[in-house]
Amino acid sequence: MVDLLIGIFLATLITALFTTRLYRLLMWYSLNSLSLGLLALLLGRSQHDGAMVASGVITLLLKAGAIPWILKRLSQRFALERRIVPNIRIQYAIMLVPAILVFTFYLAEPISHMVSGNANDVAISISSLFLALLLMMEHRNIAPKIVGFLAMENALFLLGTTATGGMPMLVELGIFFDLLMAIVVINLLLRREEVRR
């Protein structure tokens, strides 16, 4: 079950890389967070870790629900470009994505001896970190860059949950508030853009 959820996590991220519509991208991000939240719930229940269950619930509510909704509202209000064409042409991305995956899978090999948990999850979370970076790099518009940033945070969260058996609750809460702050900052940024226009 954990493997399936991790598979969905990576699959949604890869699909997001090839998306050219903003709302579709937000949907993929939401599904990505959904699988992450379910994974945290599952792991937390099997390890009897209340903190991880709580952070899973927060992930589900915040990242799968609230943040995509807020981003959609923001993009409607500021009339952001909804057609997002990647800078990297899709033919090259098709070659780049497997290259990144192979590279990171072998990169994670030495790390996997160090962690206690499942080594595959570490490899997949590192590769999704790189893919999220690619998502940020390949777009020129602001909205997909934001989504790429959020996806990168998701990948880090996955790394934290699977490799270390859950970060301390305080750190995770801090990260959640950071995310909300980032959304607020983005909101302010967009407002300034609007004033300048």
Partner 1 sequence: MSLYLLTILLLLLIAPLLLGTIKALKMWLLFKRPLSPLQGYRDAAKLLRKETVLSEEASVVTRIGPFLVLAPLLIVLFFLPPAARGAWYVSFVDAFTLTGLMALSTFFLMLLGLDGASSFGGIGASREAFIAALAEPAMVLTIFAVSMMAGDLGVGQAGANLARSFPTNHMASFLFAGISFFLLLLAENGRIPVDNPETHLELTMVHEAMILELGGVPLALVETAAAVKFVIFASLFASLFLPFGADLAWPLALALFVGKLFLVALVVALVEVHTAKLRLFKVPNLLGIAIVFAFLSLITFYVLGA
Contact positions toward partner 1, by CB under 8 A?
Answer: 1, 3-4, 6-8, 10-11, 14-15, 18, 90-91, 94, 97-98, 101-102, 105-106, 119-120, 123-124
Amino acid at 117: G
Cβ atoms of residues 85 and 20 within 8 Å = yes
Minimal distance, residue 11 CB to partner 1, in Å: 6
Shortest distance in whole angstroms from residue 120 CB to partner 1: 4
Nearest distance in Å: CB 92, partner 1: 10
Structure tokens at 92: 């090259």
Based on C-alpha coordinates, what's the Rg of the chain? 17
> In the complex with partner 1, which residue's Cβ is closer, 120 or 141?
120
Closest distance to partner 1 from the beta carbon of 90 (Å)? 5
Q: CB neighbours of 151 closer than 8 A, spacing ≥ 6?
A: 13, 16, 29, 32, 128, 131, 132, 135
Closer to partner 1 at the Cβ: 119 or 180?
119
Strand partners, 21: 83
Length of the chain, in residues? 197
Query: Which CB, 54 or 119, lies closer to partner 1?
Result: 119
With respect to partner 1, which residue has the nearer C-beta, 20 or 187?
A: 20
